[in-house]
Structure 1
Amino acid sequence: MKILKFGGSSVANPENIIKIKNILTSYEDKIIVVVSAFGGVTDQLINAGELAASQNTAYKNTLKDLETRHLDMVKELIPITLQSSVLSKVKTELNVLETLLEGAFFIGEITPKLSDKIVSFGELLSSYIISENLVSEGLDCDYKDSRELIKTLKVAGKNVVDFESTNTYCKSYFNQNASAITVCPGFIASSHNGDITTLGRGGSDYSAAIYAAALDADVLEIWTDVSGMYTANPKMVKQAKAITHISYEEAMELSHFGAKVLYPPTIQPVLSQGISIIIKNTFKPEEAGTLITKSKNKGGKTVRGISHIGNMALLSLEGPGMVGIPGISKRFFEVLSQADISVVLITQASSEHSICVGISSDDVEKSVEVVNEAFTYEIERGKIKKVIPEKGLAIVALVGDNMKSHQGLSGKMFSTLGKNNVNIRVIAQGASERNISCVINEKDVKKALNALHEEFFEENIKQLNLFVMGVGNVGAKFLNQINSQEKYLKKNLRLNVRVVGISNSRTMFFNEKGINLNDWKNELDSGEKANKDLFIEKVNDLNLRNSIFVDNTASEEIARTYKSFLGNSISVVTCNKIACSSAYDNYASLKSLAREYNAPFLFETNVGAGLPIIDTLKNLIASGDKILKIQAVLSGSLNFVFNNFDDTTTFHDIVKQAQEEGYTEPDPKIDLSGIDVMRKILILARESGHMLEIKDIKNDSFLPQESLATNNNEAFFESLVKYEDDFQKIYGDAKAKNSRLKYVAQFENGQASVGLQEIPKGHDFYNLEGSDNVVLFYTERYPNLPLIIKGAGAGAEVTASGIFADIIRIGNF
């Protein structure tokens, strides 16, 4: 014999009930079908009772809706020739319900006994209508009222199942019943004196388990709207997968911590008898679902699932008067128990100075009141502090039978959360070591679940969520590179890089599921008006794991936002040199925030575009080497200009060409004035461990003062035409000495300088072509022959590749 239970979503409408009929026809065994009320009906009945008890006539509207829905179901599911008797029965039951609600209205209250009677109508009506549908379809089906089989007793004021009587009634009835299918209402039972009782939350599952245990069924099947128990809530973790096989204990832990497809008491009746449970999907019956058995998870994954409970609060009892005083814990938990407050999590300091419990936020006010009242004497004498709750919390739990035999799981869990700026308020681990729980802010739940699921279930594929500011020349190239390398990154580097937000100076666009990089320009055009503050707010509100802010601008205003990102554990990757060349205190603060919040702050492209200059310098310093001198040609734009400028060209035309081909900043004066090179050598000096400011760098500018004083590009280019003879003289002097012009940066003995130099033949800089950069690192390990890094140091493509490289560094972090 098999027991099948169908939940509210499975019986929500006629279409779903037809699906149930098709499922039942595939069984050859004798089966018992336990059904819940039609989806949402129980809540309507509870609401109607509350309205009636408060003497609000609106209960009649709810009653009318219930009547319409049930009668419509009959008309949809029962052939018109057979409807008369079914409609009559349903109307009779609804008339009884109306009488009960009128009684609650007239007396102005609703007793527990009356409440049980009212809510029982959901299952009574649904089970009767479904059984009549199956009969009308020609199935060998019978109906049996669960009130006649499941009996309850009053224990400590609560209804509990009398299993001895229930088992006797069930065996007696089903041994004599020859029908292939028996439909029974879930959730409801009766006392020995005939009063209607209910089985509480998860009652229909519990009813099915009671039948399974009483009849020693082969299997208990729970049919719902998901294909089993999942590794995490699939509504919050898109990568979550159904668990094919799980133990009773693991299922109970996951159910306790929010896996709503199963309620823990459901398992109890079948647990001792070793009856298997299968969770199946009514809407995808071909899928395997989850098998729950007594057998352990041998050789399987260590962590089987990640679950959570929201709407939680912490209640802490603490004070010096607790230390060494027996009975404090007893009094604390006794007070909560007497107030009917369920404790979900418990942790206590080894010093006995405090006890902390997790409770539902709905119980906070009552909890504070009863606890503070119970400990009034100690509070007045300063022995114990008044209880002050913390709300807006959630519990996240890792679950698995094999966790106790694997070291480092707690560290892995907490490290993963820490990297994503998820603050842990409380930690708890049971003695069975089957569960590791922690309390976090509820706003962080989605990020925490996704980060943990990625760590424990996704074969080490790490998802990076990018927010890109600036999608012009460099930014566009960067997005195209990300798009073209998507498959390579997943296959070879185990990285899933998604762009979630983009912005230019006009519009910004977000898509939490990831922006389509084949159509990002159109999506950006359809976005909202760009706003720096709203962009930051949106990034923080999304609160995604492994978030990275990418700055492709040259904006000082955007550079000032880095602190807000790093302070929220959002990594920053930038080609914008302004932040790292700003006041030293700001630079040091950004580096400190990156360390404090475990959020990488990477700016490789600040010097040498895509060349690994900063990374090499960091590795030299980290390995114990010491920088003695740095000589470098660090401006690809200036190198391009002076490699192409000669007596057959004009300086104006070459600078214009460099601007048009993307070698210079939009304002070319930034490059030609030397400020850009000053920023770069400043950054290298700082990364070498020196506290320099931009004003400490000597700048021998070759530009006339009039050119430096211009305030727009048009005026600047006009000044270049005016001083063409001066530029030709600079070139001619170098040519006469058989030298080439290079704009050189140097750092030595704590001093830095930049300026145009005549480079003779044989020098490392002499043959530097195009827009290439070169850096010479003279160190204690390379005192005579320097460590040389050389290559393309400007251009959108190589700058974008440098940003890309920093993203990958973070992915491997």
Structure 2
Amino acid sequence: MFMSAIIESKQEKINLESLKKTDVNLVIFGHGLVGGALIEQILSKQKSLLERKDLNLKIIAVANSTKVLLAPEGITANWLNEKETSGIKHSVKTVLDFVKSYDLDNVIAVDNTADEAIVFEYENFVNSGFHLVSSNKKGNTQSLDFYRNLRATLQVKNKKYLYETNVGAGLPLIDTISLLHASGENITKIRGVFSGSLSYIFNEFSEGNKTFKEVLVQAINKGFTEPDPREDLCGNDVARKLLILARELDLHNELEDVKVENLIPKELRKGTKENFLNSLETLNIPFAIKKKNCNSKNVLRYVAELSGDLTKNDGAKLAVRLVQVARNSVIGQLKGSDTIFEIYTENYGDNPIVIQGAGAGAEVTARGVFGDILRLSEQIR
């Protein structure tokens, strides 16, 4: 009788523990630098999350543009080899059918690609019961109609979409701006260095005697730039970040509204990446002239600025350009690949809220995506 009571007590405890545990199922798209780092971070923390948070975080699918590995019980540390040997041809329908067939709950689609095509599947994911986490800026910089329709679908389906890494990598920027805006704080201007790669390039170039080519090659070798550095130097990536912040303030802007200074000479904007990399000497003279023309008390920084009458939906001015800033200013004192965001508000006056930190590197961005996943997991459990 006594032993029976002990067994029943233990069984009851096990049942209670299983009830406490929350399964969260992740479908990860893209396993390059950021996606690969994210997967390793999640696998290394799975056990501790289960023990400390009763959170059973499982990666049930990993996909790239060609193949997908499906693992209803969750992938293992050998996932890359298993994907090569057991992966099947990837399609969004394959993933949706897989999740439906196992009747899985708490499913999050995690987009670590830079692909434009996948963002047009976001509504499909939401309609199929998925939440969204994304480091892909293209989901928030499509047309305003697309932007609004996605949010309407999220509201109807009661699903979440987190994208903190779209602008500040691992920094709590979008959350801060959204909270200020929601609380009625009138934001009057946002200004800063939004690109970790361009931050590094101009922080280094403004000091010492290295040529622009030498500094750019350093940035490439450190992994701060995109594989084709023109993706950084053209300014479009920074323009997308600025547009995302504008839309967080309910401004009705499109990407073409952003005035962008392209840092690439016209003759090098087209053609292969290899041709561009073989022509980097061409950049030395124009940037040497810019540096020579810079006031001795100033330094060069590639700055994004959102200004104008931000109380009107169409009153914003969005600009991304290379400018001189005072050497002793907050932006002028940037080091390494740090990014910085100055948020000016009506109540704070001339003293902006400053958010600064690491702005480049796959590990930093992956950590930010992981943070979004954990935050969303807490919200849906």
Cα gap change, 1:488 to 1:733, in 2 (>3 Å)? farther
Matched residue SS, 1:785? coil
Equivalent position of 1:467 in the other structure = 27
One-letter amino acid of the counterpart of residue 139, structure 2: A
Matched residue SS, 1:486? helix
**Distance between the aligned counterparts of 1:706 and 1:541, measured in 2?**
53
> Kindly, what percent of the aligned residue pairs are identical?
36
1:566 aligns with 2:130: no
**Structure 1 residue 468, shift from structure 2 partner:** 0.6
1:794 aligns with 2:360: yes
One-letter amino acid of the counterpart of residue 523, structure 1: E
Matched residue SS, 1:790? strand
Matched residue SS, 2:137? coil
**What is the correspondence of 1:14-53 to structure 2 with a 5 Å cutoff?**
none
One-letter amino acid of the counterpart of residue 527, structure 1: S
Equivalent position of 2:69 in the other structure = 509
Report if the CA contact (8 A) 1:569-1:598 is conserved.
no
One-letter amino acid of the counterpart of residue 370, structure 2: F
One-letter amino acid of the counterpart of residue 779, structure 1: T
**Distance between the aligned counterparts of 2:252 and 2:103, measured in 1?**
35
Equivalent position of 1:495 in the other structure = 55
Cα gap change, 1:624 to 1:493, in 2 (>3 Å)? farther
**Distance between the aligned counterparts of 1:745 and 1:540, measured in 2?**
43
Equivalent position of 2:340 in the other structure = 774
**Structure 1 residue 608, shift from structure 2 partner:** 1.2
Q: 5+ residue gaps in structure 1?
A: 1-243, 246-285, 292-299, 302-452
Matched residue SS, 1:485? helix
Among 288, 298, 309, the residue aligned to 1:739 = 298
1:682 aligns with 2:248: no
**Distance between the aligned counterparts of 1:596 and 1:666, measured in 2?**
39
What is the number of residues matched between the two proteins?
366
Equivalent position of 1:659 in the other structure = 220
Equivalent position of 1:671 in the other structure = 232
Among 85, 90, 99, the residue aligned to 1:531 = 90
**Distance between the aligned counterparts of 1:717 and 1:794, measured in 2?**
21
Which structure's CA Rg is the greater one? 1
**Distance between the aligned counterparts of 1:539 and 1:793, measured in 2?**
35
* CA RMSD between the two structures: 2.5
**Distance between the aligned counterparts of 2:210 and 2:328, measured in 1?**
26
**What is the correspondence of 1:708-719 to structure 2 with a 5 Å cutoff?**
708=269, 710-719=270-279
Report if the CA contact (8 A) 1:637-1:671 is conserved.
yes
Report if the CA contact (8 A) 2:68-2:89 is conserved.
yes
Report if the CA contact (8 A) 2:123-2:150 is conserved.
yes
One-letter amino acid of the counterpart of residue 328, structure 2: G
**Structure 1 residue 778, shift from structure 2 partner:** 0.9
Matched residue SS, 2:278? helix
1:625 aligns with 2:191: no
Among 252, 266, 281, the residue aligned to 1:691 = 252
With structure 2 as the length reference, what TM-score do the two structures score? 0.89
**Distance between the aligned counterparts of 1:556 and 1:509, measured in 2?**
22
**Structure 1 residue 503, shift from structure 2 partner:** 1.5
Among 762, 766, 779, the residue aligned to 2:328 = 762
**What is the correspondence of 1:155-304 to structure 2 with a 5 Å cutoff?**
none
Cα gap change, 1:290 to 1:639, in 2 (>3 Å)? closer
Report if the CA contact (8 A) 1:707-1:720 is conserved.
no
Report if the CA contact (8 A) 2:23-2:57 is conserved.
yes
Cα gap change, 1:728 to 1:486, in 2 (>3 Å)? same
1:485 aligns with 2:45: yes
1:805 aligns with 2:371: yes
One-letter amino acid of the counterpart of residue 195, structure 2: S
Among 172, 177, 183, the residue aligned to 1:612 = 172
One-letter amino acid of the counterpart of residue 150, structure 2: L
One-letter amino acid of the counterpart of residue 86, structure 2: G
Matched residue SS, 1:561? helix
Report if the CA contact (8 A) 2:29-2:110 is conserved.
yes
One-letter amino acid of the counterpart of residue 330, structure 2: D
Equivalent position of 2:264 in the other structure = 703
**Distance between the aligned counterparts of 2:53 and 2:351, measured in 1?**
35
Equivalent position of 2:211 in the other structure = 650
With structure 1 as the length reference, what TM-score do the two structures score? 0.43
**Distance between the aligned counterparts of 1:625 and 1:550, measured in 2?**
31
Matched residue SS, 1:586? helix
**What is the correspondence of 1:22-101 to structure 2 with a 5 Å cutoff?**
none
Report if the CA contact (8 A) 1:652-1:717 is conserved.
no
* Stretches of 4+ aligned residues off by more than 4 angstroms: 286-291
Report if the CA contact (8 A) 1:577-1:679 is conserved.
yes
Cα gap change, 1:758 to 1:570, in 2 (>3 Å)? same
**Structure 1 residue 457, shift from structure 2 partner:** 6.4
**Distance between the aligned counterparts of 2:237 and 2:67, measured in 1?**
28
CA deviation digits over 1:758-800, x for unaligned, max 9? 1112221011111101111111332221111000011101100
**Distance between the aligned counterparts of 1:689 and 1:476, measured in 2?**
34
Cα gap change, 1:494 to 1:504, in 2 (>3 Å)? same
Matched residue SS, 1:572? strand
One-letter amino acid of the counterpart of residue 491, structure 1: E
